[in-house]
Structure 1
Amino acid sequence: MIPKLFAALALALSIAPAGAQNVYPVRPVKLLVGFAPGGATDQLARLFAMKLTERLGQPVIVDNRPGSGGNIAVHQVAQASPDGHTLVMAANYVAVNSALGRNPYNWQRDLSPVALIASTPNLLVVPANSKIHALADILEAAKRPGSNVTYGSPGMGSSVHLAGELFSVMAGVKMTHVPYKGVAPAEVDLSAGVLDLMFDSISTAVPLVEAGRLRALAVTGKQRVKALPNVPTMEELGMKGFNVEATYMVLAPAKTPTFIVEKLCTAIADISRQPEVQRFEEGLYAQPLKGGAAETNAFLKGEEQKWVDVVKASGLKID
C-alpha cells in the first residue's frame, strides 16, 4: 500500500510543475506606452488594459515611458523577461525606425508580435485660403521650374514626414521638408500659410478642418473616414499603393511562451469585437484591425521593406 502511495505522490509532483507553467498571469501585467499620457497610443492602451484586467484576472497597468519616438518603451520590453508580464502598446514606428537604422534593438530577434489593434490614417491638408484645391494642383506646383513646395512635420522620421517622402517618390516630384518640434507649431504655420501642405495626424487635423482653418484634400489610409465622408483616399485620387497609417499593436519579449501569446491574442480579439470598444476607436478616427501573432509579424516585415525602399529611392538620411 505504501509503495503505491509513494508512486502516486511522485506522479503528482512530476505533473504539477508542467501544469503550473500554463498558469498566466500570476501577477500584475505592465503594458508600456512609449509616449506621454493623452495621445492615441496611450488612450488605446488604457482601454485595452482595463478590458484585459477583466479577462485575465490580474491588473493590467499602463506604464508610460516616453522618449525616442516610442523606442524607449519598446527597448525595455525587448530586454524584459519573456513571461508575458511586460508588454508594450507599440505602432509601426518599430518597423519604420528599423528601416531608418534608428532602433537600439532588432525587432525580429528581440520581440514577439502578439496582436494588431487598430490603425489611423494621416490627412493631407492645406491652409484654408490656399490656391491648392486638389492633388493635381500640388503636382503641377511641384513640377513647375523653380518651385519650392513646402510641407511640415513634427520631426524627422515621423509618419507625417515619411508620408511626404513617399508622396515625393511615388509622384516623382521634389518638395521641401520643414521639421518642427511637435505637431502643434507645424499646424500653426500651416494655418497661417507659412507652409504649403502637411500630411497631418488625423486626430489633430480634423478639428482644424472643422474649424475652417485647414482644407482636407485626401486621406492617406485605405478607406475614407466617417468624420470626413467627402474626402477621398490617396488611392482614389490615382496614387495607387499609397498607404500611410499609424498601426497599433501589442508586442512581448522574444521567446514568450506560445500559450501566453495565444491567450493574449484570444482576449484581444474578443475585446476588439465589443461594440463599446469599436465606438471608442471610432472616436479616435481609428479602424479596428484583426490579426494575431503571424499577421502582426507579417505586417511589420512588409512595413519595414516599404520604408527601406522609400529611403533608398529618396536618399533620405536621418541622424
Structure 2
Amino acid sequence: MTKLDLDRPQPAVVARAPRTRPRWSLRSRRDFLVFLAMALPNLALIAVFTHRPLLANLQYSTLDWTLGASTARVVGLANYVDFFTSDDAPRVLGTTAAFTLFTVGLSMVLGLLVALALNSKVRGTTFARSAVFAPYVLSGVGVGLVWMFIFDPGYGVLAWVLRGLGQSSPQWFNDPQLALTMVTIVYVWKNLGYCAVVYLAGLQSLPGDVMEAAELDGAGSARRFWSIALPLLSPTTFFLLITTILSSLQAFDLIRIMTPLGTGTSTLIYEAYLQAFGAYNRAGYSAAISVILFAILLIVTVVQIRFVERKVHYS
C-alpha cells in the first residue's frame, strides 16, 4: 500500500447486527391454531382407526392365538415361516397374482375402449355414461348374488341359453379355474365403469389445438391416438394403474359371496379371512397373512412411484 493510498479516507466498516429469527405475528399464530384445530381431529382419527390397528395386527402376527381365546403364546416369526413353507403359499400367491393381473389389465384396456366410444358427440352419451358407471357404485354383495343366478349351472340364465344352443353349462362353482374366471369376469364388469369415466375425463382434457394440428398434418385417427393421445394420457394411466392394483389386491366381497369356500379364488385377503373366521380360527396366522399383503401393497406402490412414473408425461 503506497503513501497516497494511506492518505485517502478509508470507508467505514459497518458492524452487522446478528440476525434474529422473526417472531410470529398474531396472524401467524392464529393461522397455526386454526390449522391445528382442523388437522388434529383428522390425525387423531387416522391414528386410532388406521395406525393403531396396523400396529396391533403386527403384534398379533407374532402370536399363536386362537380367535376368542383369552391367552396367546408368543411365537415370533413362526407364522410367517409356516405360511411360506406350506403347500398353500404357491396356490394363494399365484391366485392373487393371476386375479390382479387379469382384472387390472382387462379393466384398463376395456375402460379405455369404452371411454373412446363415450367421447364421441352423439345422442344418448349421457345415458350411456351413467349406465356404464352404475355397476361401480352398486353393492358388491348384490352384484355377486345377481351374477350367481346368471352362472348357476342348473337354473341360471347362462345355462338356459346354452341349453337352447344344445350345449351343457360348465360347472363354474366346482372347477377352481372356472371359478376364478367367473369372479374375474364379474369384477371386471363391476369396475369397468370406473376406468372408463377416469379415462373419459382424461380424453376430454387433451389439448384440442395439438389434435387439430396433427389432423391438419395428415395424421389419421389411429396415428393421433397412438402418437399423441395415449402418451398424453400417461398420468391418467399411471393413476389408474395404482388404484386398480390396490383395489384388486383387496377384493373381498365378490369372492366371499360367489365362492364362499374359496375354491380356486383364495387370494391373500380371502385366505386371511378363512384362517381367522373359517374352520381354523388361527387369528395369529391370519394376521401374518394380512401383514404379508400389506407389505406387497407397499412394495407395489413404491415400485410404481419410483420406476413407472418415469414414463409419465405431465406436459
- Asked if Structure 1 and Structure 2 have the same fold, meaning a TM-score greater than 0.5 normalized by the shorter chain, the answer is no
Larger radius of gyration: 2
More strand as a share of residues = 1
Q: What TM-score does the superposition give when structure 1 sets the normalisation length?
A: 0.24
More helix by share: 2
Instruction: Give the alignment's TM-score, normalised by structure 2.
Output: 0.24
